[in-house]
Amino acid sequence: MLLEGKRIVITGVLTDDSIAWHTARIAQEEGAEVVLTGFGRGLRLTERSAKRLPDTPDVFELDINEPAHMEALAGELKTRWGSVDGALHAIGFAPEDALGGRFLETPPESAATAFMTSAYSLKTLAVGLHDLMRQAGGGSIVTLDFDNTQAWPAYDWMGVAKSALQSISRYLARDLGSDAIRVNAVAAGPLGTVAAKSIPGFSQFQSLWASRAPLGWDTADPDPVARMCCVLLSDWAPMTSGEVVHVDGGFHAIAAGTDEA
């Protein structure tokens, strides 16, 4: 199996329609042992979703912006496993006033929150798990991206944070490569997750993908994205790091769809 014997940390599971949940499902089906993280009011949702996986994993509390939480998680994993082979970073948040076409009015505090939670948190997770991955002889960190090489309607400071996330993944790939730790981003097409639906104007993304993606795109199906995450978490991508892999039906490669001609 693709992930036989791997020990993987999956962050960001809230409901069973999320990319993170489907990545955990496929990872288990492919032989991995996983743990999930959640925090605050969402922790109960994470625990509920964990029970819907093939094997119910343990759930640990992790507010990525609280250093003590990351330290405690690393300690738990060291006691439990001794080492970690991989991690999915599926963490992101922007305050309401940082989205929805209010880019020029967003206060610096809200922009900083979007950056810290959605981008800098990848560095926090990577550093927190660094020693455990070294104990495994290397590992793989995958983060979830939405390609922001162009400005999108309504995405605003979350888009800026995603640009920073891509850059951070490259710098982490540089600094962790000597320990055989790979860091990659998966740029997914729009999916109707809880997080996505909270973005004003999400319907614009749906209609745009429908007209432009040459392979088509189903906003209700996270499975193709989760499969790519598992490939990158596996030993089948041993020399891939610092990469942004698009799983978007080919949308990123097409300037105009047939319905736009």
Q: Domains of the chain (ranges plus CATH)?
A: 7-248 (3.40.50.720)
Q: Which residues contact 91 (CB under 8 A, 6 or more apart)?
A: 11, 12, 64, 117, 118, 121, 122, 125
Which residue carries 């979830």 as its tokens? 144
The answer to whether the CB of 247 falls within 8 A of the CB of 147 is no
Please state the pTM of the whole predicted model.
0.94
Per-residue pLDDT of the chain (261 residues; tens, 9 = 90+): 999 999 999 999 999 999 999 999 999 999 999 999 999 999 999 999 999 999 999 999 999 999 999 999 999 999 999 999 999 999 999 999 999 999 999 999 999 999 999 999 999 999 999 999 999 999 999 999 998 888 988 899 999 999 999 999 999 999 999 999 999 999 999 987 666 666 666 667 777 888 899 999 998 999 999 999 999 999 999 999 999 999 999 999 998 766 554
Distance, first Cα to last Cα, the chain: 45
> Which residues are known to be catalytic?
155, 162
Q: Which helix (H) or strand (E) holds 230?
A: helix 223-233
Whether 83 contacts 136, CB under 8 Å: yes
